[in-house]
Chains A and B, each alone.
Chain A
């Protein structure tokens, strides 16, 4: 009788531990806006010789409203995302290469606004409750971390015309205590940023014709180039007669 009760107790304890171990070790990401399918078919129509380079002029990054230093990683990701559209001949940053004078280029300025809500207060209370329950309530109290991004891209054509594009996305990572990892927040940020960039790329791809080289002449309002050549001096007409020059004969010794 005692043996069966002990066995039953052990089985229940094992089931309980299994439940905590399996349901307390998970994390998942919920996106508020699903990543849109990138429609870059229009961009493929542009001929190679019609493509112009894009220069990333400036990235302005803010986090919860306060200005941040943009990272090289973000810059690289934005450039590669724009390169995937196939609309521009090549993409560079203003920091890495200066524009060639007189070349038709598209200048890009990006505002990257991030909003982060780690639900710190809720996490603190849940942590206290979970600790007080000797971790038994771990499966019942998931934690949350919200991240939202708003991208605003301004593309200025070589003739000064400007097109603006905007996209935004948000997501939440929900996790149980034992399922938390340092990369889960990076995963969330990656998904949200990708969603925004995909949406931007879709919008830009719809303006293929606007960015083709033949769509507009080079701006006339800018600094004009002036060719300077050395003036050839014309000799006076009177000097056209040949003047015989004779070298004095060397004296015979």
Chain B
């Protein structure tokens, strides 16, 4: 019996975490100019918010990203954290209702709380153009050129000062800003996980 790719991935993550924890000090030193390169993946799950929404779009999503720390730690108590500015590319493979694709580019702004040092929660907001060939094939969206808005949060676990494992949740909204009708828009939830490298 061969192990599944998911099992191999989990094993690799756990072994890297145990090695990193043995290494000792893992609190990252984030300062103005620190850059973050990340790769996240998740699965898009449809959220039909009104009775007019009928499409149950779903599929995997991949999000390579870049961000930079803009401020030293600011704020009081548990709100204390860094402001980060960045951008990411969103690729979604819609497996339902038809096998279609979507790709977008979104500048994003992120607030990373100081947390415990190694465990850092964050919230983020992103928005930008999004092209998908799903548009025109569903009643909610008539255009292929759309915009995507994303808001969510997550938790970063720094298992070395430069490497973190992230899990989070995002809410996605895709619509064409009224450039064509109908424009009900597509809404979705996206739980995701990934890694970030800081330098």
Residues of chain A having any CB pair with chain B under 8 Å: 116, 118, 120, 123-124, 127-128, 130-132, 134-135, 143, 145, 175, 177, 180-185
B residues in contact with A143, CB < 8 Å: 70
**CB-CB nearest in chain A for B30:** A182
Q: Which listed residue (A120, A135, A175, A177) contacts B74, Cβ 8 A?
A: A120
For B33, B34, B71, B199, the residue with the greatest tally of chain A CB atoms inside 10 Å of its CB is B33
- Point out the residues of chain A lying under 8 angstroms from B68, CB to CB: 177, 180
Contact of A145 with B107 at beta-carbon distance under 8 Å, contacts A131-B85, A134-B128 already known: no
Q: How far is the CB of B88 from chain A (nearest CB, A)?
A: 11
Instruction: Summarize A's interface: helix, strand, loop or mixed.
Output: helix
Q: Which single member of B32, B85, B199 contacts A145 (CB below 8 Å)?
A: B32
How far apart sit A20 and B118, CA to CA, in the bound complex (Å)? 35
Q: B74 and A128: CB pair below 8 A?
A: no
Q: Which residues of B contact A180 (CB under 8 A)?
A: 32-33, 68
Q: Is the CB of A118 within 8 A of B71?
A: yes
Known interface pairs A124-B71, A135-B107; A130-B33 also in contact (CB < 8 Å): no
Q: How far is the CA of A134 from the CA of B72 in the complex (A)?
A: 24
Query: Bound state CA distance, A176 and B68, in angstroms?
Result: 12
Chain A residues contacting B107 (CB-CB under 8 Å) are 130-132, 134-135
The verdict on A120 contacting B85 (CB below 8 Å), with A131-B107, A182-B33 known, is: no
Assuming A145-B32, A181-B33, A182-B34, is B128 touching A127 (CB within 8 A)?
no
Which residue of B has the minimal Cβ distance to A185? B32
Q: Across the interface, do A177 and B85 meet the contact criterion of CB distance under 8 Å?
A: yes
Residues of A within 8 A of B72 (CB): 116, 118, 120
Residues of B within 8 Å of A124, CB to CB, are: 70-71, 83
| Cα of A183 to Cα of B34 in the assembled complex, Å | 9
**Bound form: Cα–Cα A143–B85 in Å:** 13
Q: Is B108 an interface residue (CB 8 A)?
A: yes
Residue of A nearest to B68 (CB): A180
Closest A residue by C-beta to B125:
A131
Complexed CA–CA distance, A118 and B32 (Å): 9
Contact B70–A185 (Cβ < 8 Å): no
Q: How far is the CA of A132 from the CA of B106 in the complex (A)?
A: 10
Task: Report Cα–Cα, A14/B83, bound state, in Å.
Answer: 31
B179 at interface by CB-CB < 8 Å: no
Chain A residues in 8 Å Cβ range of B85 = 127, 130-131, 177
